[in-house]
Structure 1
Amino acid sequence: MARPVISPRWAFRGLYVAIAVLLVLIRILPIRTLPTTLPGPDLLTCITLVWVLRRPDYVPVLLIAAVFLMEDFLLMRPPGLWAVIVLMGTEFLRSREALTRELGLAMEWAMVSTVMIGMVLVYRLAYAVAFLDEPQLSLVALQLLGSILCYPVVVGLSRALFGLRKAATGEVDALGRRM
């Protein structure tokens, strides 16, 4: 029997990296000539959280760490700080993936929103402890609100464009392993 050229797991990992690179490039390219007054949502964090809850094997820990470390370097943030915070948030959600399989979107959205708020609070606390200049609270709150409101949109787009859905209870992959 013929083997597929690329397993779906590796294809989705490559897709995740491609989406991450595209989103970071869009953020750092000087597309606009005037400064923006409102920050946009953190789409990379939203996509990561959606994919961790839908198919945790598509976004392993080292891949998330590498992507967010790259983002920290390119956006000139403290290297590794946001990457570690995102890892803590994703691992918290990954450990509850089996419990969230049966949750509806509203409960999942509430849980992810709470995790996002916690991530931002830890980030601001780390800035305060290190006596760094903190970003304006109003801008951070607007970005957080935008990210929370974008989460269901990212869920829908991930389902529609990539077919990314939660694994059903007892579902197995092509090799017979439980998902």
Structure 2
Amino acid sequence: MIGRMQMDPWGYRLLFLALAGLFLFVRLLPLDSMVGRFPGPDLLLCLIFAWMMRRPDFLPVWLIAPVFLVEDLLLLRPPGLWTALVVLATEFLRGRHALTREMNFAVEWLLASGLMIAMLLAQRLALTLTLLDLPPFGFAVVQVLWSILAYPLVVGLSRLAFDLRKPATGEVDDFGRRL
């Protein structure tokens, strides 16, 4: 059964939806009611980047966009802004899948970190240009730093728990299709 799920994109898509629902549920819980608490990492973003670096065919854009749009609406962010930034970042990674396949983990981590920082700056620029209220800069930077630090843990758990790995060059699935 696990071997079947290893190559079944629909199993991973359902798993992604379940994890996204779990992460959103935890973010909506009133656990951080103390003033001055540090924000947690954006685990959903780390999960998407980790999966996009390994198997971009498991996460199509029609699955990512609605998840983040719902997250925008429930977390009271400007609807569609963060969604658009995530879609742009994931499509950037999807277009470079052949290059990311050959990267070692340190370079992959730098690429994911750079994308997270670029997304933060693009979001702040868009909010500034539209004259919307900006979240505190320190809060946003700490969240991005936590996300950067959490990325290796998410990659490791994805590999151990879900056997999600980069396919080797020339590897084929059970049906003879190149991965």
TM-score by length of 1: 0.93
Partner residue in 2 for 1:124: 124
Secondary structure, counterpart of 1:151 in structure 2:
helix
2: CA distance, partners of 1:163 / 1:129: 43
**Structure 1 residue 77 displacement after superposition:** 0.7
Deviation at 1:8, TM superposition (A): 1.6
How far does residue 24 in structure 1 lie from its aligned partner after superposition? 0.3
State the alpha-carbon separation in 2 of the partners of residues 18 and 83 from structure 1.
18
Unaligned runs of 5+ in 2: none
Partner in structure 2 of residue 163 of structure 1? 163
TM-score, scaled to structure 2: 0.93
The aligned runs of 1:68-87 (5 Å cut-off) are 68-87=68-87
Give the superposition deviation at 1:30: 2.0
Equivalent residue for 2:113?
113
Which structure is richer in relative contact order (CA contacts within 8 A, separation 6 or more)? 2
Aligned to 2:140: 140
- Give ranges in structure 1 of 5+ residues lacking alignment: none
**Alpha-carbon distance, 1:81 to partner:** 0.8
Instruction: Tell me the residue number matched to 2:24.
Output: 24
Q: Which whole-Å CA distance do the structure 2 matches of 1:123 and 1:34 have between them?
A: 26
Q: Distance in 2 between matches of 1:76 and 1:38?
A: 19
Identical amino acids, percent of aligned pairs: 52
CA shift digits 1:90-136 (9 cap, x unpaired): 11111111111121100100111111111111111110011011011
Q: Do structure 1's residue 48 and structure 2's residue 48 form an aligned pair?
A: yes
